[in-house]
Amino acid sequence: MKLVPTLMLALVLLASTATHAESPYDVNGIKLGDREEAIKKAFPGIRCKPLEWKSDAADRRCDDAKIAINRIESRITFYLKADAVQAMDVRFDLNYQETMVAYLKQRWGAPLAEGREKIVRKNQEERESYKVRWEKGHDRALLSSLSSGGRVNLSISRGNFDEEIYRVK
């Protein structure tokens, strides 16, 4: 009869491992769930401080680190809650968009969605938005740009971070 408690413990451990699985998305080795100490070790020049507003999504941010991803010069901001990375925002020049997308597809696999959309507004020049989205479990990555913007944003987050980060408290 000792088999039942052992089996129950194994099932509980398996379930907790599945819900806290390591994120498939990383930036230069830093993944969602990593601690601030790991960020500072990987990016010694980064500045970390408390978030300037109240949010359920994060309580600290580490930003303005210059990094290279696949030899593409970028800047990164990490958002942390209870000393765990909840999100990362990477920004880089629009000229490297195709190179970065190819690199990310190689690393993360085929995206869940990819598309372009023309944006036409009265008395304004036509623009095009481009988005590529990956999702695995509660983690997601979204690369987005506007043809008129000059910059590309790669946002990696867990759960409902994007909805909560700027919600006024």
Tens-digit pLDDT profile for residues 81-137: 999 999 999 999 999 999 999 999 999 999 999 999 988 777 778 889 999 999 999
d(CA 60, CA 47): 11
Q: Residue 46: left if φ>0, alpha if ψ -120 to 50, beta else—which one?
A: beta
pLDDT at 121: 77
Percentage of the residues of the chain whose pLDDT score is greater than 90: 62
Output DSSP code: residue 22: P
* pTM exceeds 0.95, yes or no: no
Query: Which residue type sits at 52?
Result: E
Q: What is the pLDDT of residue 21?
A: 57
Residues in the chain: 169
Q: List all residues 6 or more positions away from 60 whose beta carbon is below 8 Å from its beta carbon.
A: 36, 48, 49, 50, 51, 79, 80, 81, 83
- Among 14-28, 125-139, 146-160, which is the least confidently predicted range? 14-28
| pLDDT for the residue 45 | 86
- Give the C-alpha separation, 8 to 41, whole Å: 39
Q: How far is CA 68 from CA 17, 83, 121, 126, 167, in A?
A: 32, 24, 36, 32, 31
Nearest 10 degrees: Cα torsion 116, 77, 100, 69: 180
Query: What's the CA gap between 161 and 129, in Å, rounded?
Result: 22
Q: What pLDDT, on a 0 to 100 scale, did the predictor assign at position 30?
A: 95
